[in-house]
A and B are shown apart, each in its own frame.
Chain A
Amino acid sequence: MLNFDWLRGVSPLAAKAVFLGLFVLSGLLVTMIPKEYIYEGVESPRWWHNLKLWALGVLAIIFTIYSIF
């Protein structure tokens, strides 16, 4: 049990799908964050203050890396 023997039948391809799913889920959760929470602490918000875009950008990079390799 300590070695996760029960997951040995899962192929690396299926495992990759789990990780990619994790990135997609993270992205979905990020999009659900309230706007006022994202801009908290900014006096005059501009589009580039939108931290959701930053997070989605980084998620897109890591999603691409894990899709390829």
Chain B
Amino acid sequence: MLSGIDYVVVIAYLVGIMVLGLYFARFVRSADDFFLSGKSLPFWAVGMSIVATDISAMDFVGVSGQSYRFGMAVGNFDWLGSMPAMLLAAFIFIPYFWKAGLYTIPEYLGRRYNDHVRAVASLTWIVFFALDLGVLFWATAVMFKPLMGWDPWFSIIVTAIVVGLYTFFGGLTAVVMTDVVQMIIMFVGGFTVVVVGLYHAGGWSGLTDKIAAMGEAYQNHFKLILPADTKTPFPWTGILFGLTLVMSNAYMIGNQAIVQRCLATKSVWHAKASMLTGAFFKMFIPLLVMFPGLIAVATYPGLQDGDQAFPTLVKSLLPPGLRGLLFAGFLAGLMATIDSILNSTATLWTKDVYERFIKKDASDRHYMIVGQCATVILLIFGVITAPLSKSFPGIYVAIQTFLSFFQGPVFSILLLGMFWPRATQWGGLVGLVGGIGTSVSLYVVKDHLFTIEEPFLYISWWSFVVGVLLNVSTSLLTRPHSEERLSGLVCRLPRDLKGGSEVPAC
């Protein structure tokens, strides 16, 4: 249980973040303000927000649990799994999307291919985000229960009210600006655990010596690159083909929650700079989420469950006051993810479904209200479905698996759509649906096909390859699009701008 001073820290955090978020409500007057902050955000805020959105409390527990079992190789997900993709996004995709004046990634897919592709991509993200909300709310309740002694429903409703109020009134600006504070709190809390933990482990040399002395099973714990025949989920082949070439690009370029805030920056330079700022801060994430697992190997060897590594460190090493700070950091991570999901899902629903298929040509204010209503409905859905995590403990893994099903195929149609003018609308649709079908099929028979534990990296790669092949073959068999239709949608094709034209640099 937390002590008195910890309660003060946590409650001050909750009140402070709500007041800060509500302050930004004064700047929201239109749909453009609500969904894209009126294109006014600075690069540093968006860069920090990308990191806060990407990392949640579950990463602290889950990643440190995996580093406890497998060692540093799990750090590849934040280093190799971000850096090259963020450079590609910063210099090619994001500026292109920004100049096109997009609100969502499916909107690009709809313009480049057709409305079917847009609907499939958008609805898939909406379903994923909506289900994820319930899991995140339950995770909040699970955190509150042992430390604050709060009933799960009370914790869920308090979190929903705080996040819901500022997301409803403040839109994306409130989400991004609260993310900035939340990222700082997360970093301070996370680094506290690492510094105190390293001190107890005897410093860096003490840590490496202790783990090296633990025998053959721990010899790879300080290696990022593991052999191709490792039984862990992280062979270098999977890291290269599945993670670096497909999953990371799909995540950084195709994930609405990440890309939307870059589209809300005040200029195309800020859009590029925001991704690079995010890449810089992402370099530190493995220190926060992976190192606690390594420290626990040295200080608390023999834990039955790797996921107990982080809680064990916190419980045994941190004094009162610092525990409250770390708990606030955990909460910040969860809330930053929840608010981003709420706003991005409301944007997907309003722009890709409501405005496109239900009510066209309504006023700007009308779409803003629809976005706000969608936020409330999603919030209620998230609260109601939160206890599902208790009934189905594997739901978090199931949702993440669901996400991995369509990352490869979505990236395949984004890549071909952007760089290959011959890709047609039917090629895109067949590539997307066929790629997702391939992922599901491979997953069903994974035990017979793959030799590593949880082969999601390989599944992403092969579904990407099948998506590309299906797109190319179907496109070659169907009628190509005219150059006018592709104007401004494919790299190196001029974009018509009110009679003039602009040649994209990519």
Contact = CB atoms under 8 A, between A and B. Distances in A.
Interface size class of A (residues with CB under 8 A): 35 or more
Contact of A65 (B79, B227, B452): B79
Contacts of B450: 2-3
B87 interface: yes
Nearest to A53: B276
A26 B87 contact: yes
B224 A69 contact: yes
Nearest to B279: A58
Given A34-B505, A54-B276, A12 B79 contact: no
Contacts of B402: none
B229 A8 contact: yes
Contact of B458 (A3, A30, A54, A66): A3
B366 interface: no
A23 B450 CA distance: 29
B116 interface: no
Interface in B314-360: none
Contacts of A30: 87, 91
Interface stretch (B247-255, B265-273, B383-391, B468-476): B265-273
A4 B229 CA distance: 9
B222 A69 contact: yes
Contact of A69 (B223, B276, B458): B223
B269 A7 contact: no
A3 B269 contact: no
Given A4-B228, A8-B229, A42-B269, A15 B236 contact: yes
A15 B225 contact: yes
A41 B262 CA distance: 14
B269 A62 contact: no
Interface in B425-472: 442, 449-452, 455, 458, 462
Interface size class of B (residues with CB under 8 A): 35 or more
Given A51-B90, A59-B83, A42 B267 contact: yes
B421 to A, nearest CB: 21
B463 to A, nearest CB: 11
A41 B90 CA distance: 14
A55 B92 CA distance: 13
A40 B95 contact: yes
B397 to A, nearest CB: 22
B280 A58 contact: yes
Given A12-B227, A26-B84, A18 B240 contact: yes
Given A59-B83, A62-B83, A12 B276 contact: no
A18 B241 CA distance: 12
A33 B79 contact: no
B237 A4 contact: yes
B226 interface: yes
A47 interface: no
A69 B273 CA distance: 28
A26 B245 CA distance: 13
A58 B505 contact: no
16 contacts: A2-B450, A4-B241, A12-B226, A12-B236, A22-B244, A30-B87, A33-B91, A40-B269, A49-B269, A51-B90, A51-B272, A54-B277, A55-B90, A55-B91, A62-B283, A69-B222
Interface of B: 72, 79-80, 83-84, 87, 90-91, 95, 222-229, 235-238, 240-241, 244, 267-273, 276-277, 279-280, 283, 442, 449-452, 455, 458, 462, 505
Q: 8 closest A-B pairs (Cβ-Cβ)? A: A41-B267, A41-B269, A4-B237, A41-B268, A15-B236, A37-B505, A54-B276, A69-B224
Interface of A: 2-4, 7-8, 10-12, 15-16, 18-19, 22-23, 26, 30, 33-34, 36-37, 39-42, 49, 51, 54-55, 57-59, 61-62, 65-66, 69
